[in-house]
Amino acid sequence: MVVPLIGYLDRFSARPGERLEVKISSQLDAPYKAELVRVRHADPNPAGPGMKLLPIPAAWAGEYPSVAKPVPCGSHGRAAGRLALGEAFTLLLRLSPWKLRGPDRPQVVFALAGAGHSLTLAADDTGLAASVTVDGATVRAAIATPLLHRRWYEVTVTVGEGRLTLRQAPLQRTWGADEAGFSETPLPVSDWSGDYAITMGAAPNAAGHFNGRLEDPLLLRGLPRVTLAAPEALLASGRVVAWWDFSEGQEGEAIFDRGPAALHGGFVNLPARAVKGSRWTGEAHAWRQAPRHYAAVHLHEDDLEDCRWATDFVVPIPDDLPSGIYAVRLTCGDHWDLIPFFVLPPKGVARAPIAYLANTFTCQVYANYARPEFPEAQLARRAAWGAYPWCGNLVPDYGLSTYNSHPDGSGIHFSSRLRPIMNMRPGFLAVPDDKGSGLRHLPADSHLTDWFEEKGFAFDVITDEDLDDEGLELLSRYKVVVTGSHPEYHTPGTLDALQGFVNQGGRLAYLGGNGFYWKVARRPDRPHLLEIRRAEGGIRAWAAESGEYYNQLDGTLGGLWRRNGRPPQLLAGVGFSGQGKFEGSHYRATDSVTDPRAAWIFEGTGIAPGEAFGGFGLSGGGAAGFELDRADPLLGTPPNAMILARSEAHQEHFVTVPEELLTHVTTVTGESPEALIRAEIVYFETTGGGAVFSTGSITFCGSLSHDNYANPISRMLENVLTRFQA
């Protein structure tokens, strides 16, 4: 299934003088209309301010022809060149199938395609088969011994001396099953030397993708009875024609042929590398320490690095366009799309004292999340509110989220922005929310950016990607950096920049929950990609395989920032502690609200010590909900930090995060698991003149517009940002 009208941009952000490329696929018979809008409020809930999409004149606006474009899913390897195979040759490789299908859907493991000659090795749930075609005549050898999923096999195919043979040998002992197999069939003698297209994990036409791991495809002249136990020794024998060693260059897409022909190639759609191969023993857990233990590649039928759609039109950013959140709006009949982007101020310039940090890394990691909870009532609400109708649950064709798994059960650990991202659309309802809107990420953060404009706070927009590229210099021109509701994913570069900003006297307002939690990796030559390895600990949608905690893109340990020595408390004073369904509660003020160091935060709020506040809002019905952060001196909360309020009365479905638990009744801190389910509003100052204000809750910003923006949550934030930007 595909969406009738949808698109994406080549980047999330741009500056005046730059331009964005717009890539659209339309299945419709009529032209579509494109126009520019500024996104002020992206919540369609009729109980709130409603959608605020402000049209902006643009020279490129107008009608464009509808062109349907395919989505080229599936990863595989490619190489091409001349192979001196002669009249007899041997193919050796190792494979581990993870998701085989029926005989009507064979998966191609390896293929040679030349003029008059071809060889295909394929697998389905009945077994392996090798097919050879010579001058239009096809011969097939098949083994009717099913391959067990996630087991390693060495496979040998020989061609020559009047026969085609196929052999499989299990590399791990299995009790109760005979996994070995052999097949032989007559084959005319022919000279196989020539030019070939080589594909690994798919057919030459990029169909029949293999779901599983491949290792060490190797071609030998002749028919020696050898194995892949020592490929280096085979190379030294002089018989090797080609050996594609996947242990080399694991950071990228290149495939290196260590044979004499040097038929190097590359992978399409970025399969997983830095994964355990058949030789992994557990002695090394970092792939750079023992590359040959990680000589496998994990291919998937749904891998997608880049839709590779042609550009339909460009959006130049005028010099006088204010920094903000915008969208390309597409319409054709009843069909519509909104493709968001962020406009920064000119390079080296700050046009406002406040920088709003858009959490584009988090948006990208969650891109097209097919959620486990997706009731029919969600579809009915979308229709009733005129919300964005599409999502990963309905349309998986554009690649799912790193919160989902591949069809073979392995976790998705790459996310690309070069594809449509449906849950990043203004008006997207993410989760069931009986008491509010159920927004996440960009739409949820419009609660904050709308509030900025309502209260008259001038702000520039920057993004996670811009911050990672430019570092502290990007922040140095601002007095205040304000986050949205869920800045969960960060690189070393973004954390370094934020910490440096605070250390040098900057003011940080962290207005969310579960922030600065997971570490992601990027690579300069592939800026559109993010990688996440969900290593031990943390609230996880899937668990990385043991031995696969180190990122492919940069070779460093992935997982929680807490496991990497940088708990969120070091930066923000609070860190993830508890989670439940998308439901909110209230805070209760502590005695610190009258402390002279913080009393100004509560001026005009009417909040007294011991008083509850914030039990309202468009996110879960309360300012403290869903994902909760708390202070912890052992994890880095500064000793001068003041806890101004704590949440309470959370529902029974809330749980303590796993990294805090030792047993089912004991925790790292010694408190009960239930006691750790709390959000805390924290304020502290730094020796360099900086300050941090953190709200500890993902639903906080949803309360800002309550009662026409006149409420204690709104006034508290107004006090903080007024003081911070002074």
* CATH of residue 83: 2.60.120.200
489-528 burial code (b ≥16 CB/10 A, e <16): bbbbbbbbbbbebbeeebbbbbbbbbbbbbbbbbbeebeb
> In this structure, are 635 and 568 located in the same domain?
yes
Scanning the structure block, which residue is given the tokens 């005129």? 386
How many angstroms separate the CA atoms of 536 and 249, rounded? Answer: 26
Tell me the per-residue pLDDT of 304-330, one tens digit each, with 9 for 90 and over: 999 999 999 999 999 999 999 999 999
Question: What domain range includes position 502?
Answer: 353-370+396-724
> In this structure, are 513 and 566 located in the same domain?
yes
Residue 485 pLDDT grade (very low, low, confident, very high; cuts 50, 70, 90): very high
Residue 476 Rama label (left phi>0; alpha psi -120 to 50; beta):
alpha
> In this structure, are 139 and 226 located in the same domain?
yes
> Where would I find the beta strands (DSSP E) of 306-436?
313-316, 324-332, 335-343, 354-358, 414-416
> In this structure, are 422 and 558 located in the same domain?
yes
Task: Answer whether residue 390 is part of any domain.
Answer: no
pLDDT at 499: 98
Task: Name the nearest CA neighbour of 76 among 169, 197, 243.
Answer: 197
pLDDT at 275: 98
How many angstroms separate the CA atoms of 59 and 261, rounded? Answer: 53
Average pLDDT, the chain: 97
> In this structure, are 411 and 462 located in the same domain?
yes
How many angstroms separate the CA atoms of 42 and 164, rounded? Answer: 63
- CB 585 within 8 Å of CB 646: no
Which 3 state secondary structure label does DSSP give 719? Answer: helix
Copy the structure tokens of residue 99: 């998701």
Non-local (6+) Cβ contacts of 393 within 8 A are 370, 371, 374
pLDDT at 178: 83
Task: Answer whether residue 331 is part of any domain.
Answer: no
Tell me the per-residue pLDDT of 540-575, one tens digit each, with 9 for 90 and over: 999 999 999 999 999 999 999 999 999 999 999 999
Residue 1 has pLDDT above 80, yes or no: no
Residue 536 pLDDT grade (very low, low, confident, very high; cuts 50, 70, 90): confident
> In this structure, are 39 and 136 located in the same domain?
no
Tell me the per-residue pLDDT of 631-660, one tens digit each, with 9 for 90 and over: 999 999 999 999 999 999 999 999 999 999
Task: Answer whether residue 489 is part of any domain.
Answer: yes
The average pLDDT across 491-506 equals 98
Task: Name the nearest CA neighbour of 197 among 134, 120, 250, 86.
Answer: 120
Q: What Rg do the C-alpha atoms of the chain give, in angstroms?
A: 28
First to last CA, the chain: 53
Tell me the per-residue pLDDT of 50-68, one tens digit each, with 9 for 90 and over: 999 999 999 999 999 999 9
Tell me the per-residue pLDDT of 338-353, one tens digit each, with 9 for 90 and over: 999 999 999 999 999 9
Task: Answer whether residue 376 is part of any domain.
Answer: no
Residue 528 has pLDDT above 90, yes or no: yes
Task: Answer whether residue 210 is part of any domain.
Answer: yes
> In this structure, are 29 and 94 located in the same domain?
no
> In this structure, are 135 and 278 located in the same domain?
yes
The average pLDDT across 449-459 equals 98
> In this structure, are 320 and 405 located in the same domain?
no
Non-local (6+) Cβ contacts of 24 within 8 A are 5, 6, 7, 32, 34, 64, 67, 69, 309, 312, 330
pLDDT at 425: 98
Task: Answer whether residue 375 is part of any domain.
Answer: no
Task: Answer whether residue 341 is part of any domain.
Answer: no
> In this structure, are 134 and 157 located in the same domain?
yes
DSSP state of 347: T
pLDDT at 2: 84
Scanning the structure block, which residue is given the tokens 């080229």? 72
How many angstroms separate the CA atoms of 158 and 91, rounded? Answer: 6
How many angstroms separate the CA atoms of 138 and 385, rounded? Answer: 59
* CATH of residue 625: 3.40.50.880
How many angstroms separate the CA atoms of 697 and 680, rounded? Answer: 8
Task: Answer whether residue 380 is part of any domain.
Answer: no
Residue 177 has pLDDT above 80, yes or no: no
Tell me the per-residue pLDDT of 120-146, one tens digit each, with 9 for 90 and over: 999 999 999 999 999 999 999 999 999
Express as a percent the part of the chain with pLDDT over 90. Answer: 98
pLDDT at 45: 98
> In this structure, are 664 and 700 located in the same domain?
yes
pLDDT at 494: 98
Residue 172 pLDDT grade (very low, low, confident, very high; cuts 50, 70, 90): confident
Residue 175 has pLDDT above 90, yes or no: no
Copy the structure tokens of residue 515: 């922030």
Alpha carbons within 13 angstroms on the beta-carbon side of residue 490 total 28
Please count the structural domains in the chain: 3
The average pLDDT across 683-695 equals 96
> In this structure, are 291 and 313 located in the same domain?
no
